[in-house]
Structure 1
Amino acid sequence: MIENLGERGICNDTALCESRVPVEENRPSWLFRHNDLIRDMMSGEYIKKRKLTNILNHIHFKGDPLYALLKHPQYDEEILAKVHPEPCLGEELVCRWDPAYRGYKLEKYRFEYLVINHDQSIILAQPRILTLNDDGLTMQLPESSPVTSKRQVPRFQCNHVKAELMQNGFQASGELVNFNAHAFRVRLQAAASSALFYWFKPDLPVTIRLFKGDNVFYVGNCRHIYQQQNGSGVEIVLSPAQVQGTQHKEQMIRNPRKEKLQSLSAIFEHPFMEKTFQRKIIDISTSGFSISDKSDSAVLVPGMIIPKMTVTYAGLLKISCKAQVVYRKDESSIRFGIAILDMGIEDYNKLNQLLNNVPTDDEDMINEVDTEQLWDLLFDSNFIYPAKYKHIQAFREDFQTTYKKLYNDCPAIAKHFTYQKDGRIYSHISLLRAYERAWMVHHHAARSMEGSPTGLIVLKKMISYLYDLRRFPSAMLDYFICYFRPGNKFTDRIYTGFAKGKSNPRVCSLDLFSYITHTVKDAPSQLPEGWSLQECSNSDLWELEQFYMHHSGGLLWDVLDMKNHERHTLADIYAQQGLHRKWQAMALHFSGELKAVVIKEESDAGINLSDLLNGFKVFVIDPETPMDAILAAVENITRVKSTESYPLLIYPAEYTKDKDVDAEKDYIMWILNAQHANEFIEYIMKRFRMNIT
């Protein structure tokens, strides 16, 4: 229905505020008392009939209404009535009354003006009436018509956006009618009208939530500007408080922004209007970007969430994300800061690759990898030492096939960084999504170049890559994990040093495992009498959790996430890439008592060169458990692929020493809670005098 004009706040202008959603009421709210508006318009600019015709056809094309200003035949009241135009050929215009006015006998009223709301302006045409009846009216267009100038702060109509207002004991629901850069107009349901005046306090802040279905577009505190009650309920105008979101506060560490990138734009569907806009990107990093806008066309509000945002480069590369407006700066043009809330890892890789290829003085970071050169690095740097090669040589062809797939076709589960010069790889590090919400850092290998170490170069790039990725829910990156041998000076300085410095296993944990390789027998050993093996029950998992938290207090139980194993989707993601990954917990009992838990891990051969994801993790709960029972248990667990031998990681490591088991080596499993990633980065920066950004 029609709103009154010329009110305080955002309605102190010359535009109609028409809802797209009809409101049923006893009578239309259509009284018009703004003759001063007409007088002002008559002294302003004029448009010709040809241009007016094109505007009328554009309005018809969009399905928008016009308004007829009528005068009551008896009471001399002026009213606005909504009409719907037919296509116009330039001389005559036919309009139909809106169905809501059926029975009001508008044909008895005296026609005065045709009011046209177009492009933030009002056109006040005075055509000659040819016919006026109960269906509508036919008129002859004038040669020219007055038009107002655009309002200083444009206002935009909204499309089916729901609104909730909350203030102490007051709560009301309605819809967002329109908005501008500084205010929201909300129409509340009639049922809330009486409560509004009793419980709502105009001098106190009110929280507004704007949403559509499950998508929330805005939540924030506002101050009251004014309100108006009519037959359809209450309309209230609120101005959002200009407060920056704490989740987007300035960070001490942030990836550098790249500026003056040509052909880089942001395309987004506005959540309030469901219209698509395109704006030039001023600067950008993996955490967000800024765009410029004109004051008379700015459609963004700080705090607004944009579910569908696309960064496009020259129309060729398109990167999708979910974003939020975090600030507005009024300069020569308006500058909006946009924070990326979430994006798929494949889109993140595209953005990361785009920014890495902007010309800088940085190292020669090349994403494409010649796997022959990679094998040369791994052998030359002693990453693949003789004993390790003996273990993997029987499956070298499978390794090469797996690596070609990982490095070329699997961005959802794998990422790598190499430092290359003249086609030769000098350092390498890679990431693998090893568990549902944990990524594994592995295969960190380097050789010197002209006497200079290169391992820190790829470490720096990996940290820079992960710093923003960890914030995105789609990345499933709650934990970082890494395996390394005790006594390695480099890993001790990086990983062990940080964990010991924090002294909090819920921030960063270190778990020591003994590693043995068990040779497969032709027939599996029988479990000793009294021993049984079955899938872990809920009580077994609970006891395992108590055991691990008592001995370690670390993060491995969180990484394995065994309680929610049925909801895991990682196996499906690997399968989509033509790869295999899963893990399962089996309980070893003696006379009904839990003695050990064997976690069978399965993956493709060579996905990790030490096969740490393709063997068994054994948690020995009772230190008196015989080793023979453990080996019989793992031999009886069905394997996906037959192998000559398989690795066992046994926890706690003291078990093998107490049982005089000939363990080949020990491995430390390092796990970092991603919420503390910035603390780890700061540690690396200080420890190695490195500038990550």
Structure 2
Amino acid sequence: MENSNSNIVQIESASEAQTSLNTQPETAEVTSAEKSLLGDTAPEIAGLAEQKEGRKVSKEQLVNRLNFINFQDDVIHIHFTHREYERTMLVAVAPEPCLGDTLELRWLGTTDVDSMLKSYHLDFMLVSHGQKFIKSVPEVLDIDAKGVCLALPEISREVSHRKVDRQRCRDISVYVLQNSASFSGTLLDFTASSFRTELKALPPQSFDWIDPSGPVNVILFSGNQTFFSGECRIIRCTQGQNTRSYVLESLRQEIPRYRKAEFRSQRQTLNPSPNINFRHPLTRKRVDLKVIDLSGSGFSVEEDENTAVLLPGLILPSIELRFSSSFKLNCSAQVVFRKPSKDKMGKRLRCGLAIIDVTAVEHVKLLGMLHQAKDKNSYLCSDIDLDDLWDFFFETGFVYPSKYAQLHKNKAEIRETYEKLYTRSPEIARHFIYQDNGAILGHMAMVRFWKSAWLTHHHAARKSALNRAGLMVLDQISRLVYDSYRLRSMHMDYLVCYYRPQNRFPNRIFGGVAGYINNPKGCSVDSFAFLKPTHFDHVQANLPVNWELGPLTDEGLCDLEYFYEKASGGLMLKALDLEPRKCWDDPLQAEFSANGFRRERHLFALNNDGRLQAVLIVYISDIGLNLSDLTHCVQALVLDPEHLPSEILLASLQQVCRATGQNEVPALIYPLSYVEKQSIPFEKTYNLWIIHNHSQFEYYFKYLNRLLRYK
């Protein structure tokens, strides 16, 4: 029997409740075995008439519950029994506001009252109350096409302690797919272990296309937002040609949000522990759960088995993580596993959630708290006394005499830059401090200088604490990258570092990682010659005939790509946004400006008779953003070392600096072999180290494991 009104649930015989064919003759009797197969209504409602009644519920308590349900725009059920056969029917109705003695109920949709009353009489009503129902036997005062009017009894009873609390769902659409057949419908109710859907078969579709014994793929969504997709099995279903209800159970208790990794984010147990608060995407009800442990990439919570609401694979678009009344942060997350808890106090479930999006500012707050929970001396983007920081830079020798000779004339601008960097916590920068009793022992920083790549720099430590503080800030920055690179909003596909090969510590770390990975597509090192402005500002700036500087084009970028692939095969062009067609979309100028900083990039092509000889890139940023001027310089990438005279390249460096209004900026020239072969004077060598975080950061951790003891 197919009921056109989804608000009326008729409890049929088992042959009508199953999808498989039954050769036994249909009877009017409904046995207890058959009742266990009923699938159209919430299973815990069926058979409530036989349940042992519990504690008394006064009329006043019943009225209060009815008014709450009205306030929530929810429904109750009234129970009808067939006058001749042992069949029952549940009808969902909406209660009107109740003043005390009488209750008016409104039918939902169209109900054929006359036909129903010829065969059925009203027995009792069921009012949901948490994990139980209130069973009330009222007196029928009136029934018509609009609804029912009842006189409430003085005493009602609680019945049927539910195994699992089923919750009504609102405005959730469903796709069920099997063997290329797709059926659409709505989600009716939900538990963390199973959920009930109503599907429609539109011609030429037939429900015979669904094999109840095989798995189906289910998508739960609202508008453009998908909340769940996964493989499920069919527990039971009703009969019907045009509509059917299916009860489905997810086949997986754990989903791989990200590929499995040997190293994991460090979990911290905080005291007091935070709570998560969110509106459930399927039921629209508020949920509040205690966090058990927490990391920079996710957290786990516990919930009671009977009231569980977290289904593995479920996406929670908006979660508020509450640490106290004054500290909250928002994120979106996905449930990635559910398993029994070790708690012996009762049946509890432990659920893990992976963060899938969070703002950069709030993620830094979370990581800063976790870093300090791990080590009280580790600070991330904390307020710092800038006088102490500069004292640290000078005392450790990070600002050595020749470097200070270049910095001192711009010291006012540099102080202003650092005031913004270290007190305003801009989204484009991070700084890491290791300090004890107020004394800075180690420092490292990073800045997002390209679309999806961050430059790490300014690594320094006091000699008395070098072995610990230097490694600890490196540990901090490595942990931050590991917790961040999967989040698209962090723009952290690549990590970049310039280091001098004669400096033992960075050469051992970064050069060692590149050697360990031994794949330039995953981690590359390219050597540049660093020229001070005095190395090329004396050269005649005019170019000979047939040589010209002009704007770089996609064709020139293709030539650069071909040259670099043969010369290195590394990551420089990808990380530094120099790939054809991708080069021109550069949002960083606007983002730096929004944070109170300056960042510009100007691209030039040096051609000889129309043939590309070199690509020149002028970077303009705040003075002191990088204290070695590696973010305020001109880069030259020489494509044809055999046919580019050094004086023409140096003259071109002068011209592009003047064209962009820059004076006395240094130059970085690649490849280093060109500078050495041309005998161009240069001050030092910088190695440009780049790692692709998504594919290689596991190997980075493996290499550093013996130094930092990662777990």
Whether these two folds match at TM > 0.5 is yes
Q: Distance in 2 between matches of 1:632 and 1:130?
A: 101
Map residues 262-341 of structure 1 onto 2, 5 A cutoff.
262-331=272-341, 332=344, 333-341=348-356
User: What residue in structure 2 maps to residue 163 of structure 1?
Assistant: 174
User: What residue in structure 2 maps to residue 532 of structure 1?
Assistant: 548
Q: Any conservation in 2 of the 1:182–1:240 contact (CA below 8 Å)?
A: yes
SS in structure 1 of the partner of residue 475 of structure 2: helix
Identify the match of residue 561 of structure 1 among 566, 577, 597: 577
Identify the match of residue 230 of structure 1 among 215, 240, 244: 240
Q: Distance in 2 between matches of 1:430 and 1:369?
A: 13
Q: Distance in 2 between matches of 1:94 and 1:134?
A: 13
Q: Distance in 1 between matches of 2:193 and 2:644?
A: 70
Indicate how the Cα distance of structure 1 residues 78 and 36 shifts in structure 2: closer, same or farther if over 3 A, else same: closer
1:682 paired with 2:702, answer yes
**TM-fit CA distance, 1:297:** 1.4
Q: Distance in 1 between matches of 2:603 and 2:350?
A: 54
Q: Any conservation in 2 of the 1:415–1:430 contact (CA below 8 Å)?
A: yes
Q: Distance in 2 between matches of 1:593 and 1:452?
A: 51
1:650 paired with 2:669, answer yes
Q: Cα deviation per residue 1:359-390 (whole Å; 9 max; x = unaligned)? A: x6664657332211221222222222222222
Residue range with higher mean Cα deviation, 511-520 or 576-585: 511-520
Give, as a single letter, the amino acid of the residue that structure 2 aligns with 1:161: I
Map residues 460-471 of structure 1 onto 2, 5 A cutoff.
460-471=475-486
Q: Any conservation in 2 of the 1:509–1:672 contact (CA below 8 Å)?
A: yes
Q: How many positions carry a matched residue from both structures?
A: 675
Indicate how the Cα distance of structure 1 residues 36 and 133 shifts in structure 2: closer, same or farther if over 3 A, else same: closer
Map residues 552-591 of structure 1 onto 2, 5 A cutoff.
552-562=568-578, 563-591=581-609
Residue range with higher mean Cα deviation, 297-306 or 449-458: 449-458
1:671 paired with 2:690, answer yes
User: What residue in structure 1 maps to residue 197 of structure 2?
Assistant: 186
Q: Distance in 1 between matches of 2:462 and 2:517?
A: 31
1:368 paired with 2:383, answer yes
Q: Cα deviation per residue 1:269-323 (whole Å; 9 max; x = unaligned)? A: 2121122211111122223222121122111112222221222112221122222
Q: Distance in 2 between matches of 1:55 and 1:522?
A: 88
**TM-fit CA distance, 1:544:** 1.0
**TM-fit CA distance, 1:155:** 1.4
User: What residue in structure 2 maps to residue 541 of structure 1?
Assistant: 557
Indicate how the Cα distance of structure 1 residues 320 and 364 shifts in structure 2: closer, same or farther if over 3 A, else same: closer
Q: Distance in 2 between matches of 1:106 and 1:465?
A: 65
Q: Cα deviation per residue 1:588-645 (whole Å; 9 max; x = unaligned)? A: 2222211111112121111001111111111111221233433443444377985540
Q: Distance in 2 between matches of 1:11 and 1:573?
A: 63
Q: Cα deviation per residue 1:141-187 (whole Å; 9 max; x = unaligned)? A: 11123442231122122222222223333332222222222222222
Q: Any conservation in 1 of the 2:254–2:338 contact (CA below 8 Å)?
A: no
Identify the match of residue 659 of structure 1 among 652, 672, 678: 678
State percent identity of aligned pairs: 32
**TM-fit CA distance, 1:232:** 4.7
**TM-fit CA distance, 1:251:** 4.1
User: What residue in structure 2 maps to residue 219 of structure 1?
Assistant: 229
User: What residue in structure 2 maps to residue 30 of structure 1?
Assistant: none
SS in structure 2 of the partner of residue 391 of structure 1: helix
Residue range with higher mean Cα deviation, 323-332 or 489-498: 323-332
User: What residue in structure 2 maps to residue 53 of structure 1?
Assistant: 63
Q: Any conservation in 2 of the 1:323–1:341 contact (CA below 8 Å)?
A: yes
Indicate how the Cα distance of structure 1 residues 162 and 534 shifts in structure 2: closer, same or farther if over 3 A, else same: farther
Q: Distance in 1 between matches of 2:306 and 2:488?
A: 35
1:135 paired with 2:146, answer yes
Give, as a single letter, the amino acid of the residue that structure 1 aligns with 2:620: E
Identify the match of residue 434 of structure 1 among 427, 430, 449: 449
User: What residue in structure 2 maps to residue 599 of structure 1?
Assistant: 617
Q: Distance in 1 between matches of 2:567 and 2:539?
A: 35
Q: Any conservation in 2 of the 1:342–1:471 contact (CA below 8 Å)?
A: no
Normalised TM-score (structure 2): 0.87
Q: Cα deviation per residue 1:549-588 (whole Å; 9 max; x = unaligned)? A: 1111000111122332443322222111111123232222
Give, as a single letter, the amino acid of the residue that structure 1 aligns with 2:558: W
1:396 paired with 2:411, answer yes
**TM-fit CA distance, 1:258:** 2.1
User: What residue in structure 1 maps to residue 3 of structure 2?
Assistant: none
Q: Distance in 2 between matches of 1:379 and 1:10?
A: 83
Indicate how the Cα distance of structure 1 residues 66 and 232 shifts in structure 2: closer, same or farther if over 3 A, else same: farther
Q: Distance in 1 between matches of 2:587 and 2:10?
A: 55
User: What residue in structure 1 maps to residue 638 of structure 2?
Assistant: 620
Residue range with higher mean Cα deviation, 244-253 or 406-415: 244-253
Map residues 415-434 of structure 1 onto 2, 5 A cutoff.
415-434=430-449
Q: Distance in 1 between matches of 2:36 and 2:599?
A: 63
Q: Distance in 1 between matches of 2:465 and 2:370?
A: 28
User: What residue in structure 2 maps to residue 23 of structure 1?
Assistant: none
Gaps of 5+ in 1: 19-32
